[in-house]
């Protein structure tokens, strides 16, 4: 039997140069727009024939910044404060035996760019440059399970109120502001950090966003 090596078919082009600030789950910030850019071998119009008929897609990708030779059967989910260990297969931790991720995104458009056909998607939770191994259509009658239980990761519920210091928002292009507000409202800080005096810095869309959090209120102090 000939061994078939798994290899990327595309990579993500997003506004996140680093991991900090990326939504913890896909679809949480629907205003986020990204592009799936295909590798030369897969830039074929026929490979996308019929894809416009689906509103959402599954992306199978790699936690490329967390590759390691060893693995642990337990991890410490941030949702539990980073102190409680759970089985790796009971979590969505990036520290996995094969470092694979799975995200459901909204298909916004199929566009022609300098690198051929690209998929414009909404709500992705991938860092810029992330390798994508496969794309499959999301099928509601098979993939949606409203009765599913969430274990130790229930819907977080309330979000933060986001305020901008005078003039801060004007530094960011207007088409990026709704996405940034959604990211900040979902509290990008590690779950265990709650220092109101701490100044955080988030890299987004080529800008550095500085903010503080006091209780349920987040204030953007500046965007550079």
110 exposed, middle or buried (CB, 10 Å; 0-12, 13-18, 19+)?
middle
Average pLDDT, the chain: 92
The DSSP-derived string for 66-122 is G--S---SEE--GGGTT-S-EEGGGS--S--SS-EEEEEEEEEEEEEETTEEEEEEE
For residue range 54-77, list pLDDT tens digits in order: 999 999 999 988 777 888 899 988
Single out the residue of 205, 203, 204, 209 nearest to residue 223, CA to CA: 209
For residue range 73-89, list pLDDT tens digits in order: 999 887 787 789 999 99
pTM of the predicted structure, to 2 decimals: 0.89
């Amino acid at each position: 039997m000939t061994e078939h090596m798994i290899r990327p078919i595309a990579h993500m082009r997003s506004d996140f140069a680093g991991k900090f600030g990326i939504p913890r789950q896909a679809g949480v910030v629907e205003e986020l727009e990204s592009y799936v850019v295909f590798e030369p071998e897969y830039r074929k119009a026929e490979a996308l024939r019929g894809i416009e008929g689906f509103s959402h897609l599954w992306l199978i990708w790699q936690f490329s910044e967390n590759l390691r030779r060893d693995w642990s059967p337990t991890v410490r989910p941030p949702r539990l404060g980073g102190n409680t260990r759970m089985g790796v297969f009971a979590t969505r931790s990036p520290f996995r035996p094969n470092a694979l991720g799975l995200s459901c995104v909204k298909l916004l458009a199929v566009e022609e760019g300098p690198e051929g056909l690209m998929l414009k998607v909404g709500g992705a939770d991938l860092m810029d440059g992330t390798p994508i191994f496969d794309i499959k259509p999301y099928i509601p009658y098979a993939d949606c399970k409203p009765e599913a239980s969430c274990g130790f990761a229930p819907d977080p519920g309330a979000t933060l109120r986001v305020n901008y210091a005078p003039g801060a928002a004007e530094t960011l292009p207007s088409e990026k502001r709704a996405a940034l507000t959604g990211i900040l409202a979902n509290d990008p800080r590690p779950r265990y950090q709650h220092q109101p005096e701490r100044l955080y810095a988030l890299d987004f869309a080529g800008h550095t966003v500085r903010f503080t959090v006091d209780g349920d209120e987040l204030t953007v102090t500046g965007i550079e």
